[in-house]
Each structure stands twice: as structure tokens, then as C-alpha cells.
Structure 1
């Protein structure tokens, strides 16, 4: 990669080094991102969680809280992310008998100079990891799958929605 092409990448400076993007000249706008993922498990594990029969306690409540807390820590976890004022974080874990397991979705909203895609993805990831941690006494083979951005609104690059 030539120095000329390196300087066109927002997170790479002219010397090819990683850098945090300067967003100081951008206008703060309303931004929202929605991410999703799933945790697949054996039917017996799913039934135990749904019945509240888990030795570690409230699996879903703990995973939801962990996702919310993780979104707030994204800038500390992802090296070039900007710390953002987060105005709303919603994490849902929906039972899905067809997996069997749980569909996880996170919605993050801010009014800032840059988007909240990473915060939404971090919330889903950590909620899934926490669900795994809380349920591993029941099953070690749980599978975290398909973590992805569903949609984002706001910002110069425009809106995005998965088809």
C-alpha cells in the first residue's frame, strides 16, 4: 500500500500508523444503531433457563445488564473508538424455540459527531458472552452466532439497513 492510499483511510495517518479520527469539525446529530446476534443451545438447556433452573441465577437479567454496561465501555475496549454520550441503550433477549436459544438485540442512541455501531455490536457480544458464562454449568457447547449490524441512522455516510 502506498503512502498516498494510506492517507485516504480515516484510521491510518500518512505514515501508515493507526490514529483516532478527528471528528471535532463534525456536527453532532441524532444517531441510532441496532445490532443482533444469537446464542444456540441444547433443548434441555433452553428449557432450564426458561424455567429459571440455573445454578448461577438470573441468566437473562444478568446478560441484559452486562450488555448495557458493555455499550458504555466500548471506547475502553475498542482502541480507536470515541467515547460517546449514550442517551439510550436497550438490550433484549428473546427466547427462540426454533434455535433453540435466544435472539439478542441491542439498540443504542446518541446525539454525537460519530455513530454508535460499535456500541450496539459490543452490547450484543457481551450479552451473548454473559449468557454463555451464566449457562455454562448447564452446557459447555453453547454457540454464539451471527453477531451483526442490523441498521444505523444518522451521519454523513447515511442510513444502512441489512436486507
Structure 2
């Protein structure tokens, strides 16, 4: 079992997302992340999907996706050099003045922005890899137990500009 990444170019039509996610649900495949957005062509959307599976299951998934009428192209990004990022917001509640200072220090060390704050709450924005965000969550949960509200947006990925030979 390993983490897999697939990129789909699909027709930008009502119901396509439901049909693609239904394909996964119907076969009892669990998605780790699914992100959808328009491309430079307004008739086409790009889906970035992350799942954990073995080789055999993943090959079945790709074949089923290729057979879907709405799917224009399937790219397996699992072994490709890519740039991946995940947007995450974390709101820390019930902070003391010292804890707010600590969060500002964390934002200086980690690739995190302070988006908003008041006397007791700080809102952080993190744009890094899923693994980087996992590490940040561990740090925040350890230092601010039970006070972190976490919203993750799912990863997007694009092939690297320079491909190794």
C-alpha cells in the first residue's frame, strides 16, 4: 500500500464530480484528497486525486477512470517529479498573550502566515506539502491541545518544469 496521485482532465459539466467520486465509492476505494478546479479552457476541469492503494487496485482505478465518458485524460503522478501543495487554515482559540506571541514566532520559523487575530484567537494559513502540514498540526496540537480548528483544502499537483532524463 502506498500513496498515489492521479490527475484527471474532465469535461466541465454538471454531475461529473459526482460520477467520478461515485466510481470510487462504488468500488469501495477511499480517497485521501480530491481537488477540482477549472483550467485555462473553461470547458475542462482538472481533478487532483490522492488515494492509498496497492499496485493492482491502482491499475484498476486508472482503467475505470479512462473508461469514463467525461474523462479526457488521466495522468498518474505517483512516480513523476511534481510540485504539490495543500492549503490549510488553522484557528487557535482561547490564547493567552504569551501563546499569541508563540504563534507569531512559529509563523516566523514555519512557512505559515498569520491572517487574522484578536485578543484570544489566531488564524494561520499554511501552504505547503501535505506532510509539512501534518508536521505543523502535530506541533500545534501538542502546544495548544484541544484548541485548534483545522480546515484542509486538499492537494493540487503539477508536473515539474525540469524533467530528469
TMscore range, shorter length: 0.3 to 0.5
**Structure with greater proportional strand content:** 2
**Structure 1 length as normaliser, TM-score?**
0.36
